[in-house]
Amino acid sequence: MTAVVYVPRDASAVSLGADAVAEAIRVEAASRRLDVKIVRNGSRGMFSHEPLVEVAASAGRIAYGPIAAGDVASLFDSSFLDGREHRLRLGAAEEIPWLKSQTRLTFARVGVIDPSSLGDFIAHGGYRGLTRAIELGAEAIVAEVTKSGLRGRGGAGFPTGIKWKAALNAPAMPKYVVCNADEGDSGTFSDRMIMEGDPFVLIEGMTIAALAVGATQGYIYLRSEYPHARRTLNEAIATAYSNGYLGANVLGTGKSFELELRLGAGAYICGEETAMLESIEGRRGMVRFKPPIPALEGLFGKPTLINNVVSFATVPIIIARGAEFFHDYGAGNSRGTIPFQLAGNAKRPGLIETSMGVTLREIVHDYGGGTASGQPLRAVQVGGPLGAYFPESMLDVALDFESIVARGGILGHGGIVVFDETVDMARMARYAMEFCAVESCGKCTPCRIGSIRGAEVIDDIINRRRPRENLEVLRDLCDTMKFGSLCALGGLTPLPVLSALKYFPGDFGLTPRDVEFIGADLTISGSGAGNGHAIAER
């Protein structure tokens, strides 16, 4: 009988040696004349256990990890193919508390199936959403998405159904569906894990969107930093074409949907949706003025529905199981589950999909286990490079769109980065300005010049050059950036800067009294920010 062994092909697992582990298993099995099939699955997202090897045993999938190539011979010696004991045995994969306590809807198949296998995808519930969508028809699909309460998972949190409705009602043709896969926020990797671990779900979600709004061409705009995702997606797109799920006649409906992967080229700003459209059109990634909104005049001037990877990937389960099913999860106006990504100095980092409204403390301490270094936790940045820094004392904030905005932060794309006590928050504030300067598209002055000036002024404060006067300058500058920038890059860079000042004034050589002015300034106006990326739209 063939034994089936799972070794992730996820980029992070590979970065820890998963390819070498898979090769060692192949060689060892061959030398012991054992019939072993190695499946390269996605990652379960428990990165403290990666490379995580699983065996399909009679008792279910048994996990071992973290496995190095050097451990492989001893695994065979311990009869791991039968799920037997070994010092690195973790037990049944799905019973590991870190995983079991999660609610995996969008990520239900990630780490479970072979991402290159359409058959595996369908056997695990794939394409049920599309089948039902075809029965429903355009209006009913949009109604279902609206009723689910899904809001954009790229970061802006804009109600997905409203966007779909606008694109559906736009009269011009042709229409486009574009997936924003330019996941640029530090501390985020949920898009990547979907694309590498369950690429067909993204294709399915985009196909449903195309049926709903009447689009005939789709693009996935993928950042170039994700070569593994590029390979997995291209494989999956080709498979979907050859099996009639994409192309001139999708599943015999007579409707056509073409899908193409386009690569970015290392520009954070291209996660902002209009800069992304410019880039797909072959230009510099310069942010466009809005209106017109892309749903009416987007790619090549035509109606364009833009969503993030996780948003599209969540649509199939909503359509397959019904809007209520998804809506039953969540808190307040933040419905459903969201994949949080715990990173930085966390002891047990990874992908945590859970109902909206979980507290930051539960993510950082219960899942994360505190810091990786074992030193006291000092700060947590939520929502990517444009998100606020929170001190330990604020970890009880609930992670839903409204609660975090009320505490002066943003949820962004769900990235959570932990820092221990060695962090210098003045330096992190300066970095926020520096990053904005590096990544600014240059179209608007507050962002282009403000960020450079911001870094200089923070340097002056740190170096005790008239710190109080310069604090006034910084305050004005942050105001100008916040209210005068064209997009969220310039508009939200003040958030990490001001939150660092407010909660960690000592790192700047200032007293709490010096920074008393920061209070109301830390609340976000309007719809917040967003994008695989905190900057998708405002």
Partner 1 sequence: MAATDARNSRNGGAAWDARAIGEIVAGLAGKPGALMPVLHAVQEYVSYIPPEAVPAIARALNLSRAEVHGVISFYRDFRTERPGRKIIRVCRAESCQAMGAVALAAHIQARLGIDFGQTSGNGDFTLEPVYCLGNCACSPAIVVGDDLHGRVTPERFDEILSGIASARQPR
User: For residues 276 and 184, is the Cβ–Cβ distance under 8 A?
Assistant: no
- Which residue, 319 or 417, is less far from partner 1 as judged by CB? 417
Rule CB under 8 A: is residue 419 a binding residue for partner 1? yes
3-state secondary structure of 254: coil
Cα–Cα distance for residue pair 415/417, rounded to 1 Å: 7
- Which residue, 252 or 282, is less far from partner 1 as judged by CB? 282
Query: Which of 115, 285, 408, 446 touches partner 1 by CB under 8 A?
Result: 285
Write each residue from 193 to 212 as x if it is in contact with partner 1 (CB under 8 A), else as -, in one continuous string. Answer: --------------------
Rule CB under 8 A: is residue 232 a binding residue for partner 1? no
Rule CB under 8 A: is residue 34 a binding residue for partner 1? no
- Which residue, 152 or 415, is less far from partner 1 as judged by CB? 415
Beta bridge partners of 57: 60
- Which residue, 141 or 280, is less far from partner 1 as judged by CB? 280
CB of 485 to partner 1, least distance (A): 19
- Which residue, 86 or 230, is less far from partner 1 as judged by CB? 230
Interface size with partner 1, residues (CB under 8 A) = 61
From the list 126-134, 242-250, 327-335, 343-351, the region that binds partner 1 by CB under 8 A is: 343-351
Query: Which of 106, 279, 314, 485 touches partner 1 by CB under 8 A?
Result: 279
Query: Which of 344, 454, 528, 530 touches partner 1 by CB under 8 A?
Result: 344
Rule CB under 8 A: is residue 263 a binding residue for partner 1? yes
And the tokens for 2? 């063939």
Rule CB under 8 A: is residue 451 a binding residue for partner 1? no
Residue 393 to residues 357, 377, 397, 411, 518: CA-CA distances in angstroms?
Answer: 18, 10, 10, 18, 17
Residue with tokens 């920038």: 485
Write each residue from 293 to 332 as x if it is in contact with partner 1 (CB under 8 A), else as -, in one continuous string. Answer: -------x--------------------------------
Full DSSP string of 490-526: HHHTHHHHHHHHHH-GGGGT--TTTTTT-SGGGSPPT
User: For residues 534 and 417, is the Cβ–Cβ distance under 8 A?
Assistant: no
- Contact residues for 93 (Cβ-Cβ < 8 A; gap 6+): 44, 52, 54, 60, 61, 62, 63, 99
Cα–Cα distance for residue pair 531/458, rounded to 1 Å: 27
CB of 450 to partner 1, least distance (A): 19
User: For residues 31 and 72, is the Cβ–Cβ distance under 8 A?
Assistant: no
Rule CB under 8 A: is residue 16 a binding residue for partner 1? yes
Cα–Cα distance for residue pair 243/342, rounded to 1 Å: 37
Rule CB under 8 A: is residue 265 a binding residue for partner 1? yes
Rule CB under 8 A: is residue 47 a binding residue for partner 1? yes
- Which residue, 37 or 283, is less far from partner 1 as judged by CB? 283
Cα–Cα distance for residue pair 337/293, rounded to 1 Å: 27
- Which residue, 312 or 419, is less far from partner 1 as judged by CB? 419
In the range 95-154, which residues lie near partner 1 by CB under 8 A?
none
User: For residues 92 and 48, is the Cβ–Cβ distance under 8 A?
Assistant: no
For the chain, the distance separating the N- and C-terminal CA atoms, rounded to the nearest angstrom, is 56
Full DSSP string of 437-500: HHH--SSSHHHHHHHHHHHHHHHHHHTTSSHHHHHHHHHHHHHHHHHH-SSHHHHHTHHHHHHH
Rule CB under 8 A: is residue 12 a binding residue for partner 1? yes
- Contact residues for 218 (Cβ-Cβ < 8 A; gap 6+): 176, 177, 178, 179, 206, 207, 209, 210, 257, 258, 259, 260
Query: Which of 420, 477, 493, 515 touches partner 1 by CB under 8 A?
Result: 420
Rule CB under 8 A: is residue 42 a binding residue for partner 1? no
Task: Look at residues 427, 319, 406, 321 and name the one whose alpha carbon lies nearest to residue 357.
Answer: 406
How many C-beta neighbours within 10 Å does residue 84 have? 14
From the list 11-19, 124-132, 236-244, 401-409, the region that binds partner 1 by CB under 8 A is: 11-19
- Which residue, 19 or 514, is less far from partner 1 as judged by CB? 19
Rule CB under 8 A: is residue 340 a binding residue for partner 1? no
User: For residues 467 and 426, is the Cβ–Cβ distance under 8 A?
Assistant: no
From the list 8-16, 101-109, 447-455, 467-475, the region that binds partner 1 by CB under 8 A is: 8-16
Rule CB under 8 A: is residue 8 a binding residue for partner 1? no
Beta bridge partners of 533: 531
Rule CB under 8 A: is residue 167 a binding residue for partner 1? no
Q: Which residues bind partner 1 (CB under 8 A)?
A: 11-12, 14-16, 45, 47, 50, 183-189, 191-192, 224-228, 230, 262-268, 279-285, 300, 341-346, 349-351, 372, 381, 385, 415, 417-420, 423, 428, 431, 435, 438-439
